[in-house]
């Protein structure tokens, strides 16, 4: 307050002087009603926003529940597939071992057959050479009949 009884006041971009007798701490009622009306509009807009957000929250919460169910189902499927993979891997290893054993058996069988073939070849060649020698010896011998 100015000592002369006048006070400078400013509102937004307006400024001016008013008699200090008319200054009060309480705003005029018409201004209060306008402020209250604008606040009521903001409150209503905020309530509508809250309602929209609550609806969106509910839909998202239900989606989260659905996603958790799907996630649990996927985890169960993954566990089943991992178990099946383990089973198939062990079966694959067993079949490889059996294949290795059968290839070892077939190579042993091949060696036995070759050895028997060699021995039978030697026996047959010995028999043939003996028969040829007997034939040759019989030709060298003169047989006389008296």
pLDDT of 110: 85
- Residues 11-22 have a mean pLDDT of 78
- Alpha-carbon torsion (119, 123, 124, 128), positive or negative: positive
Q: pTM of the full predicted structure?
A: 0.42
pLDDT of 69: 96
- The tens digit of pLDDT for each residue in 32-65 reads 566 666 777 788 899 999 999 999 999 999 999 9
The answer to whether 17 and 6 have CB atoms below 8 angstroms apart is yes
DSSP the chain: --TTSEEEEEETTEEEEEEGGG--SSPPHHHHHHHHHHHHHHHHHHHHHHHHHHHHHHHHHHHHHHHHHHHHHHHHHHHHHHHHHHHHHHHHHHHHHHHHHHHHHHHHHHHHHHHHHHHHHHHHHHHHHHHHHHHHHHHHS-----
Higher pLDDT among residues 6 and 118, named by residue:
118
- The tens digit of pLDDT for each residue in 87-96 reads 999 999 988 8
């Amino acid at each position: 307050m100015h000592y002369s009884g006048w006070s400078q006041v400013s509102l937004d971009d307006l400024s001016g002087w008013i008699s200090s007798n008319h200054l009060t701490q309480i705003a005029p009622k018409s201004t209060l009603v306008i402020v209250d009306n604008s606040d009521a509009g903001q409150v209503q807009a905020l309530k509508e926003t809250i309602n929209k957000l609550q609806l969106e929250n509910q839909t998202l919460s239900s989606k989260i529940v659905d996603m958790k169910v799907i996630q649990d189902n996927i985890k169960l499927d993954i566990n089943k597939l991992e178990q099946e993979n383990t089973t198939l891997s062990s079966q694959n290893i067993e079949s490889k071992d059996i294949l290795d054993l059968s290839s070892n058996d077939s190579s042993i069988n091949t060696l036995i057959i070759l050895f028997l073939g060699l021995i039978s070849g030697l026996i047959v060649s010995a028999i043939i050479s003996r028969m040829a020698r007997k034939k040759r010896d019989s030709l060298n011998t003169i047989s006389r009949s008296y």
